[in-house]
Chains A and B, each alone.
Chain A
Amino acid sequence: MSDTTIQLEVFRYRPDNGGPTFQSYEVPYHDDWVVLDALNYVKNYIDGSLSFRWSCRMGVCGSCGMQVNGEPALTCAAFVRDHMPGPIRVEPLVNFPVERDLVVDINGFMEKLDHVKPYLVRDDEADDLSAEYLQTPTQLDRYKQFSMCINCMLCYAACPVIGRVDEFIGPAALALAQRYNLDSRDQGKNMRQDVIFQNEGIWECTFVGECSEVCPKHVDPAGAIQQAKLEGAVDYYKRLLTPWARRS
């Protein structure tokens, strides 16, 4: 074990014990430790009452997102060495209601994901459940980037519009809507667009772009939203000019 240590300043909140406070912990420094390792050291050896979420510790499950020195980050991918000599301030993701310590309430986010029907929608699904829908590499390439999301919600913590409008569907869910709308096998575009072409869909967004900056998977939700705006504008004028056309 190394002699060097680093200071963690951890956000503590227990609803029954008054307002939030910061608690400092001294943890050993290791070159290859990530912030999540330091938090687990606290939990295992110093203070078992600290609550936080994590699972895969390899940037796949998306459950370990927190504010690290003020920026949203996956704590399993944020190296302690990048924040030397410290201290490192660890807080729950902003914009989300805090349940306890570093644990935030994700129910609102889950509902927003639900709104955009993040799955392939087929009109003919009932007819033949064993049907195969082939796709060329070019067709895959149209949406692949938007399908890399791990639902870590860092983009929601980075978005000033989420902080202002609770109902704003937000970066990840809108990127996911675009991911399915661009999928050649999908037939649910019109239903999704009824949702995302509302004010609380894409139109609250002012392209601050910070969601794409913090995204650990390079999904570029900001780009997805602007592309949807372009489609939304074309669709708007189509509806305006051909009001008689029937749309399902």
Chain B
Amino acid sequence: MNRPLDRRLGWTWWTRNGSYFRIFLREATSAFILAEVVLFMLLLHKAGQDAETYLAYRDFLWHPLMVVFHLVALAFALWHTISFFLIAPNALPGQVAGRRIPAAFIIGQQFAGLAAVTLLLFLWVAWVGAT
């Protein structure tokens, strides 16, 4: 009799090796990014209320334990950034107007963009804080 055996990868596929696990971490960055977005949304909410309420929330956000969380979230956010930039050349069409764009160029451009946006944001906030 013909009785084929079922050997499909189950839900634990991401534990099979290191590269699966890195992909799992990449997908998990979304949980930390969502958490930071919600915390920021609440900061905007408190900004619309009186100074005391706002500062109480800000001090919670800046509590040492929360800062530890922010640093972990930052590590995950950077993993999203790096993994996204590194796979972008594969996800884009190989040719633009009949020419191959070198992957290193695409990756470099993205990191340049990241640096520019980050610097602008820093300067803007520091400027408002200093004046």
Contact = CB atoms under 8 A, between A and B. Distances in A.
B1 A16 contact: yes
Interface string A58-93: 000000000000110000000000000000000010
Nearest to A226: B91
A160 B14 contact: yes
Interface in A190-213: 206-210, 212-213
Contacts of A206: 27
B91 A230 contact: yes
Interface of B: 1-10, 13-14, 16-17, 19-20, 23, 27, 87, 90-95, 98, 100
Interface residues of A, number: 37
Contacts, number: 78
Given A71-B17, A95-B9, A141 B90 contact: no
A159 B27 CA distance: 16
Interface in A94-108: 94-99, 105
B23 A210 contact: yes
Interface string A166-209: 00000000000000000000000000000000000000001111
Contact of B9 (A71, A92, A160, A220): A160
Contact of B8 (A94, A207, A212, A213): A94
A175 to B, nearest CB: 12
A15 interface: yes
Nearest to A146: B94
Interface string A223-248: 10011011000000000000000000
A226 B90 contact: yes
B19 A213 contact: yes
Contacts of B16: 70
Interface of A: 13, 15-16, 20, 70-71, 92, 94-99, 105, 138, 141-142, 145, 159-160, 162-164, 206-210, 212-213, 220, 222-223, 226-227, 229-230
A15 B94 CA distance: 46
Given A70-B16, A163-B13, A223 B3 contact: no
Contacts of A229: 91
29 contacts: A13-B5, A15-B1, A20-B5, A70-B17, A94-B7, A95-B9, A96-B7, A97-B5, A97-B6, A99-B2, A138-B98, A141-B95, A141-B100, A159-B9, A160-B14, A163-B8, A163-B10, A163-B13, A164-B9, A207-B91, A209-B87, A212-B90, A222-B90, A223-B91, A226-B90, A227-B91, A229-B91, A230-B91, A230-B93
A192 to B, nearest CB: 17
Given A15-B1, A16-B1, A223-B90, A94 B9 contact: yes
A105 B5 CA distance: 10
A99 B4 contact: yes
A106 B47 CA distance: 61
B19 A207 contact: no
B9 A162 contact: yes
Contact of A98 (B5, B27, B90): B5
A209 B4 CA distance: 28
A220 B90 contact: yes
A159 B6 CA distance: 15
